[in-house]
Amino acid sequence: MVSPPLISVVTPIHTTDHKLPQIREAISLTSKPVQLIVVLNNPILVDQIKPQLSNETVVVSHRKGRGFSFLKGIAEVKGKITLLLHSDTTLPPGWFNAILTKMEDPSVVGGGFSMVYDTPNPYLDVVSWLSDQWVRVSGELYGDRAMFIRSHLLGRCISALEVPIFEDLRLSRCMRKFGRLAILKEKVQTSASAYQKHGLLQYILKIWLCRIWYEIGGSPFEIYSFYYSTSKSR
């Protein structure tokens, strides 16, 4: 019997508000070969987070920004498939098999999950639904959807991650050069804390302002500084 391919999960953590215990649980429940790589992007976390699973590695990234954290974690990847998972996002039951089933199609180079927020709210339900439709129409993926990719393609798209922000958008655009992106029907659950902290409309406007700024040639480093200018966590 052929063993299923190893999936490497890379999870950057930059604040104490993370869901690492739930991520570990989702990995433990698969009973499948999964490598977990935790990337600490905040020095105060170094003494707090240590490896717990049998195939877990904890590394430290000293460069601010999720793109640079992913780069640090990717250097440790051993699996044929890499899953880039935000630390405030949890995986649904059956996530492992859902990825493998979709990746049996050689035309699929990677993809992401559908999404729901962790706080019951009709307005957030509308936001997640609209986000799903936008992803399907535009073909662009975002990191809160737990993006996955064939690991051998990461080397060809690695420069897309060399930014502190919009690494997910850049990576999905690079992936599309090599094949098709798939959106799984299974739903990851992601944190709604940013909407709760900043307000629904204000936060959506802030995201789209940054997005437009980037599309007209703005520096990802300047956009990163602006994006986090009202928050202490990066």
Question: Is 230 within the bounds of a domain?
Answer: no
Residue 140 lies in a domain: yes
Q: What's the pLDDT at 230? A: 56
Residue 164 lies in a domain: yes
pLDDT for 3 beyond 70: no
How far is residue 105 CA from its own chain's centroid?
A: 22
CATH of the domain at 165: 3.90.550.10
* Residue in the block written with tokens 């990461």: 154
pLDDT tens column, 182-193: 999 999 999 988
Q: Helices then strands (H, E): number in the chain?
A: 9, 8
Q: Domain span at residue 158?
A: 7-193
Burial of 218 (0-12, 13-18, 19+ CB in 10 A): middle
Task: Name the 3-class secondary structure at 133.
Answer: helix
Between CA 172 and CA 179, with CA 176 as vertex, the angle to 5 degrees is 135
Q: Domain count of the chain? A: 1
Q: Is residue 1 part of a domain?
A: no
pTM over 0.85: yes
State pLDDT tens for residues 95-129: 999 999 999 999 999 999 999 999 888 888 998 88
